[in-house]
Amino acid sequence: MTARMGISLRHDWVDSLLTTQPPLPALEVIFEQWVFASDAALGRLEQLRERYPVLLHCLSMNIGSSDPLDRHYFEQVRVFADRFAVSAVSDHLSWRSIDGVWSLSLLPLPRTEGTLAHVAGRLDEAQAFLDRTIALENISQYLPVPGDIPFVDMFNELHRRCGAPIHLDLNNLLVTERWLGESPGAFLDRLEADVAWVHVAGHQDVPLPVDDHSRMPTAACMELLARVSPSVPVILEWDRERPSLRELLPAISPEQAANV
């Protein structure tokens, strides 16, 4: 794969990382995985923070929802981000709740001017509260949504209005292409927003692809990555059928494998 690739941290990799300290460029931490962690577990995360830059990825900012922003949630994010001196923060350009009932998934938004105005207002509020920019990830989309603004222009415009970079998920572009026929290449051609960091992952075809983070990134994913500036951090996500770190790192980079 590539020596520039870091990993999205999962609990079962923590001890191995602490023991071997492979030369990963960065770790991504999912906020919701740590918010109820014990003191001991948070202590281990602090040890990792001393060794690796940390990118904080969130699932529940609910930026696109019409429910009020949850100040208590954002307060936790801010404290966590301060404590671990994270390099950047992201969530998704999506919504998860309506009238206080939460979905189990990240749901797509209409691609309309009304959506942009709605999200921009909430994003301004959230960024001011966190005192940080919030990168927005492109989610996998399985169904068409209303609106005629190109998906990439939603990110370009939110960057222009709010200064929010994109958290670019290349596998999500590939999954969306298979379901909706939208070209990842055209997305990258038209992308003007700054890129905070990149997600790569692999997926199953059952028979159409589902973004389940269950494989190494496909060749198509790595071809897209070659189009992204080498200065942008890259994070590998792996959830289903997760290998051990000892199995994973050689596949990412021989340099990293040598240290495990």
Partner 1 sequence: MSETELQAWQAQFFSERVRVPSSGADGVYFREQVFGALDVLSEALPELQAALGEPNFRFFVRELLTQAQPRDAFGTTLVEPFLRSLLTRPELSDRPQQLQLVRDSIERLRTPHACV
Instruction: Indicate whether 37 belongs to the interface with partner 1 (CB under 8 A).
Output: yes
Give the per-residue contact string, 229-248, with partner 1 (x = CB under 8 A; - = no): ----------xx--------
Q: CA Rg, the chain, in Å?
A: 18
CB–CB of 13/245 below 8 Å? yes
79 sits near partner 1 (criterion: CB under 8 A): yes
Q: What is the DSSP secondary-structure string of 103-127? A: EEEEEP---SHHHHHHHHHHHHHHH
What are the b/e assignments for 59-81, b being 16+ CB within 10 Å? ebbbbbbeeebeeebbebbeebb
CA distance linking residue 200 with residue 168, whole number of Å? 9
Q: How far is the CB of 101 from partner 1 (least distance, A)?
A: 6
Which of 15, 75, 113, 255 touches partner 1 by CB under 8 A? 75
Task: Give residue 61's Cα distance to chain centre.
Answer: 13
By CB under 8 A, the residues from 183 to 222 that bind partner 1 are 204, 206, 210-214
Q: How far is the CB of 89 from partner 1 (least distance, A)?
A: 13
Residues 162-181 that bind partner 1 (CB under 8 A): none
What is the separation of C-alpha 230 from the centre of its chain, rounded to a whole number of angstroms?
Answer: 18
Both structure tokens of 113: 């001017």
Q: Which is nearer to partner 1, 116 or 173 (CB)?
A: 173
CB of 82 to partner 1, least distance (A): 10
- Interface with partner 1 in residues 82-121 (CB under 8 A): 83, 97, 100-102, 104-106
Helix 151-162 × helix 113-130 angle, to 10°: 40
Identify whether 207 is preceded by a cis peptide bond (ω within 30 of 0): yes
Question: How far from the centroid of its chain's Cα atoms is residue 68's Cα?
Answer: 23
Closest distance between partner 1 and the C-beta of residue 229, in Å? 26
Contact call for residue 47 and partner 1 (CB under 8 A): no
14 binds partner 1 (CB under 8 A): no
60/141 with CB nearer partner 1: 60
C-alpha closest to that of 32 among 58, 56, 70: 58
Of these, 47, 76, 156, 218, which contacts partner 1 (CB under 8 A)?
76
Q: 177 or 237: whose CB is closer to partner 1?
A: 237
Task: Give min distance, CB of 23 to partner 1, in A.
Answer: 25
Cβ closest to partner 1, residue 76 vs residue 127: 76
Asked if 193 and 155 count as a contact pair (C-beta separation under 8 A), the reply is: yes
Sites of contact with partner 1 (CB under 8 A): 10-11, 30, 32-42, 59-60, 62, 70, 72-73, 75-76, 79-80, 83, 97, 100-102, 104-106, 204, 206, 210-214, 239-240
